[in-house]
Each structure stands twice: as C-alpha cells, then as structure tokens.
Amino acid sequence: MNLPNVLTLSRFVMIPLFFAAFFQGQMILALGIVLLAGLTDLLDGYIARQSRQITATGVMLDPLADKLMMLSVVIALVIAKKIPWEAAAAMAVREGGMIASSAIFHFRGKQTLPANALGKLTTFLYYVAIVLLFFDLPGGVPVLWFAIALSFAASFVYLAQFRARNGKGGIPAAAGVAGTGAAGTGGAAGTGGVAGTGGSFGAGGASGTGGAATDGVSGPEGAGGTEGAGAGKEGWNGNGRKEKRTN
C-alpha cells in the first residue's frame, strides 16, 4: 500500500464525516471536508506520477472515491432542498454508470483510464457549485447544471479513449486459445492451441487445415504444416498405415 493509495482511501473515510458535519449544520466544517477530499485527489495523482507509483488499484479507486464523495454531497444537498431532484438524478445516473463501468472493466482485465482533462474541469466546476450552494450564494444551480452537461461530454470522451486503449475486439490469448490477432497463416499455436493454415502445431495441439494429433493419433498434416513435439510414438498416418514415430 503506497502513499497515493492511502490518500485515495482516506476520501472514503471522509464521506461519513461529511454527512455528520452537514446534518449538524456545521457548513464550514462540511465544506472543509469536501475541499480536503479534493486536495487529496490532487495530491495522490501528483505523488503517483512523480514517484512512479501508479498502480491498477489506484487507477480504479481514485475516480471511485471522487464519485462517491460527489454523490454524497449531492444527496445531502437534495435532502436540504438546495438543488432540484432532477439535477441530482442526472448526476446519479452519470456517476453511477461510470462507477459500474469502471468496476466491470477492471474485473474483466481491461485497462481503465485516469480522468481526462474535461473530467477534471467538470470536477472543478462541481466544487465551485458546492461552495455557492452551501452558503446560498447566487449562481449555484446554473453552475451545477453546466457541470452536469460537461460531465456527460467527459464520459463520451472517456469511452472513446477506453475503446482506443483496449481495442475494438478480441480476447487476449490464454491457455492456447488465440484471440484477435493470434497466429495466422504460417503462424504456430501454443500448447493446446489452434494454428493457422500452414502453421505447425505444438504439443498436443491441433494442426492447421487437415487434422490433429491427440494421444498419438495424427490426422493428415495441414497444408504446409509440420508435426511438432508431442506426436505419439505410434499412430495412424494420413494414408491409413500404422507407423512409429519418435519425439
């Protein structure tokens, strides 16, 4: 557990502290907790980049902590009737969707991305709106609506960047199963894998067009293919004659 991740986790602890301060009418303390959370957001990213301590866990938890804190503030403002419920619903849909998407991408082994510049600008505007709303200053709700619209634009940019980073399709090869871009014509498959036309096959694997070798029984060799290690010592060749083989 490195320092940037500790700072990120501290924001989760700040959420109940914020609720306690807000509903006890201690607006300055509640705002201070929100601003402190924003400061730790800046610090953890800066420290992680400077010390090269960027981790997959940090990349996932950092935006999650931000979104949960922001949703907590929105819930408090709705209960206090400082913002319309429509604005809260729009924020909840967007933030909830991003949280769910990030979690799904992470557990599927996809590369999640840090917040883009548009997302950071959105966060800044949210904080401006929060300050105005906490103290009933004019302009709070319009700034909030503008930030909400910008947040949806930031989401589309994020999804486009995610698609570019992770590719449009294909599953990474695992246990000999080739994904998009696996061995093609003339390529070889790994253990238990499938080779392309003209490829050679590995131990126990299937050959190219033509046949397979399993427990010493081989079919016809693929077009231009050669048998690899793992062919049995005795088996039937493609012409129906029994022959011995050596590894």
Question: Looking at the chain, which residues constitute the CATH 1.20.120.1760 domain(s)?
Answer: 3-166
> pLDDT digit string (tens) for 112-153?
666 667 878 888 898 899 999 999 999 999 999 999 999 888
SS (H, E, C) the chain: CCHHHHHHHHHHHHHHHHHHHHHCCCHHHHHHHHHHHHHHHHHHHHHHHHCCCCCHHHHHHHHHHHHHHHHHHHHHHHHCCCCCHHHHHHHHHHHHHHHHHHHHHHHCCCCCCCCCHHHHHHHHHHHHHHHHHHCCCCCHHHHHHHHHHHHHHHHHHHHHHHHHHHCCCCCCCECCECCCCCCCCCCCCCCCCECCCCCCCCCCCECCCCCEEECCEECCCCCCCCCCCCCCCEEECCCCCEEECCC
Across the chain, what does the average pLDDT equal?
A: 71
Distance CA 61, CA 55 (A): 10
The token pair at 57 is 């866990």
At 114 the pLDDT is 62
Strand partners, 243: 235
**pLDDT tens for each residue of the chain, 247 residues long:** 788 888 889 999 999 999 999 999 999 999 999 999 989 988 887 888 888 877 777 777 787 888 888 889 999 999 999 999 999 999 888 877 777 776 777 677 776 666 667 878 888 898 899 999 999 999 999 999 999 999 888 888 877 877 777 765 433 433 333 334 433 444 443 444 433 444 433 334 433 444 443 343 444 444 444 444 444 444 455 444 555 544 4
CATH 1.20.120.1760 fits 3-166, yes or no: yes
Distance CA 77, CA 126 (A): 13
At 186 the pLDDT is 41
